Amino acid sequence: MDISLIIPAKDEEQSIPELTQWISRVMQTHGFSYEVIFIDDGSTDGTWDEIIKANQANASIRGLKFNRNFGKSAALHTGFQAAQGNVVITMDADLQDSPDEIPELYKLIKEQKFHLVSGWKKKRHDPITKTWPSKFFNAVVSRISKIKLHDFNCGLKAYDVRVVKSITVYGDMHRYIPVLAKWAGFTKITEKVVEHRERKYGHSKFGWQRLVSGFLDLLTLMFVGKFSKRPMHFFGTFGILSFLLGFTLTAVMLWEKFDSIYISKVPLKREIVQQPAFYLALVALIVGVQLFLTGFLADLLARQSISKKDYLVSERV
């Protein structure tokens, strides 16, 4: 099969009929063998009924229904696991992504051998309250991840099937799929300018809150991506630094006490337990030991959680 098209949908009953007809025209025109997998993410309208009707009219259209709203990441991950095509393409169900982009995205994966192609909505039909925060967010993510993309959150993306079978998308990590792909070893990532159409039906499901949650997810992703297999490197480093600080302060105070008794014989202005440095040293020693033990326990858990799936064999001979 050439293409698996994964489409998360929530409360998009008005868009489904027009979208499925448009997709069918594009696929038939270019002679692709394909499947369309709709993921109904807990819709409360007639979205699922429209997916059933589309399936009855075209057997290439399939549907999976969540019993409640789990989010876009869960929908994409479920679709990725079900996909059977050589190229996997994702798009939104609100008709703001154009199916006419599918052939070019397919060529970039199959002919130019890219692992991932991300859409770039260079000209957007969104209010400035949405576009400017998005630009700032994308600039920060691009700088941190060192992946030169302008629109990480674009729903229109194309993947080599090996990519989607090798990554786990959870929480709100769908924004960072290019980062997950890069860390999995799929470094041939590019972008393509795509059409952004005005919303025809319904309303946007996203608000300003996603900017805050997006940066929190980025911090989580950067930590997990770098230290999930070696947590001792993170906790142990800070634990040792904290312990050394406490040990140094303790050594200085003990030397001053020794000096006052045996060398200079000048009484201390304040006893050790009356000095702020004493409590700082005590806290630093305790925190250092706790961080080191936390890293040790986390390392044991990380070693137990490692599975064969963590290491991808790309070729065999």
Q: Give 49-97 pLDDT, tens digit per residue.
A: 999 999 999 999 999 999 999 989 999 999 999 999 999 999 999 898 9
* Nearest alpha-carbon partner for 194 in 251, 123, 261: 123
Contact 131, 207 (CB under 8 A): no
SS3 state at 98: coil
Bridge partners of 6, per DSSP, are: 37, 90
Average pLDDT over residues 211-235: 74
Q: Is 208's pLDDT higher than 70?
A: no
Average pLDDT over residues 145-156: 90
What is the third-level CATH fold of 3-227?
A: Spore Coat Polysaccharide Biosynthesis Protein SpsA; Chain A (3.90.550)
pLDDT value at residue 66: 94
pLDDT value at residue 205: 55
Greatest mean pLDDT among 109-113, 129-133, 137-141: 109-113
Q: Is 17's pLDDT higher than 90?
A: yes
Q: CA 7 to CA 36: how far, in whole Å? A: 7
Strand stretches in the chain, DSSP E: 3-9, 34-40, 61-65, 87-90, 116-120, 157-160, 189-193
What percent of the chain is helix, strand and coil (3-state, nearest 5)?
55, 10, 35
Q: Of 145-149, 186-190, 211-215, 274-278, which range is least confident?
A: 211-215
pLDDT value at residue 264: 80
Q: Is 308's pLDDT higher than 60?
A: no
> Residue 88 — left, alpha, or beta (φ > 0 → left; ψ -120 to 50 → alpha)?
beta
Query: What DSSP designation does 208 have?
Result: T
Sheet holding 3-9, edge to edge: 61-65, 34-40, 3-9, 87-90, 157-160, 116-120, 189-193
The model carries a pTM of 0.76
* Nearest alpha-carbon partner for 19 in 104, 86, 94, 108: 94
Q: What percent of the chain has pLDDT over 70?
A: 88
Residue type, 171: G
> Residue 89 — left, alpha, or beta (φ > 0 → left; ψ -120 to 50 → alpha)?
beta
Q: CA 54 to CA 302: how far, in whole Å? A: 45
Q: How far apart are the first and last CA of the chain?
A: 24
pLDDT value at residue 311: 58
Q: Is 252's pLDDT higher than 80?
A: yes
**Diameter over CA atoms, the chain:** 98
